[in-house]
Amino acid sequence: MKTKLMLAWILSLCLLLIGCSGRILMEDRNNEGLPVLDPEDGVAKDISVVLYYRLTGEAYLVPITRNISVRANERAETAIIRTLLEGVPQQSLSNNVSGIFPTGTDIVEVALDSGILYVTISAEFLDDSSVESVRQAANSFGAGMEAQELAQEAIRLAEEEMYLTRQLGVYSLVNTLTEYADGEIRVQFLVDVEGNGQGERLSTGDLGLSSRAEGEDLIEPLEFNPEIVVNAERILRCMLSRMVSGQFEMAYVLFLEAPVGGVQKPTYANFENEMLGLGNITGFEILSSKENDDGTASVWVNLDFQKADGQLCRIENCEISMRKEGDLYKVGYGSFKSILEAA
């Protein structure tokens, strides 16, 4: 009898163990679809990222490679946005790039869903105090027609700059984040207008992405925009445009600091005097360009030039040499000056 009872107890125990084993296998099958945990989650780390800052005073973005710190339990994308909002990197190129985002602009939320990264930033992004300052100053211009025209022009230029800054801010985020993700995402830009933690889609006009006169289409998820990124040709276009308009100080920073052909870039005061001593560039046409693997570039242009004695001439198909200094192509001063001297 005891033997039979012992056998029955052993049989029951075996059945119980088989049942437990069956439940374990079933639970394993149900968990097959769970994501694998990243062993680096929750650990602070450094990553290398291409960040896009504004070329000072111009309508282009400059790509700058930086190592940034991702805090423990922070999304890499959040760390990237945080770094952009902090402003210009402390390096030798800082005199050629500028921060884009108004003081106080902060991250509200970053979320990824179905290949779209939703980025919500605070209402400070829409700061319009620069325009309001100009508007208030314009009240002192006087009541005459000429004074009023000057006031309206000042306000127009201030608004134009504000909307350009917003456009560059949007694409600073979009280009940086999409390049980091190898183009596998699009970015939906949102602003917490009411300060309640809820992001809103704004019109493309309000963000400087289209003319406000063209309508109020809401912003859609955006991809990388290559047309807003500097290259050798666009840098030269900026430099020549500043020369034509007489803004020599803004042209000056786009020349190489290092000597080219044995000619050192002069001080700013001497630069302006030397350029004016040769004459004035009154117009230009960019024909073609070539960027080389060694960081040099050539851009071929036609220049309309008025010599110091008043004689007008056209310099056709001249080659302007450029070279990378840091992350930015710049014009060789010596070679550019020789072109004007030979006119």
Domains and CATH numbers, the chain: 45-226 (no CATH), 232-341 (3.10.450.50)
pTM of the model: 0.83
Over residues 227-235, the mean pLDDT reads 97
- Beta-strand pair 116-122/186-192: parallel
Checking if the pLDDT of 332 tops 90, the result is yes
**pLDDT given for residue 142 in this prediction:** 74
Q: Rounded mean pLDDT of the chain?
A: 86
Give whole-number Cα distances, 162 to 63, 75, 132, 134, 159, in Å.
22, 30, 11, 12, 5
Ranking 35-39, 92-96, 162-166, 316-320 by mean pLDDT, the lowest is 35-39
Distance CA 331, CA 234 (A): 12
Checking if the pLDDT of 13 tops 80, the result is no
Find the helix or strand (DSSP H, E) in which 189 lies.
strand 186-192
- What are 281-306's pLDDT values in tens digits? 999 999 999 999 999 999 999 999 99
149: pLDDT confidence band, cut at 50, 70 and 90? confident
Checking if the pLDDT of 244 tops 60, the result is yes
**pLDDT given for residue 261 in this prediction:** 76
Which position has the higher pLDDT, 18 or 1? 1
Checking if the pLDDT of 16 tops 60, the result is no
Which position has the higher pLDDT, 259 or 287? 287
**pLDDT given for residue 151 in this prediction:** 86
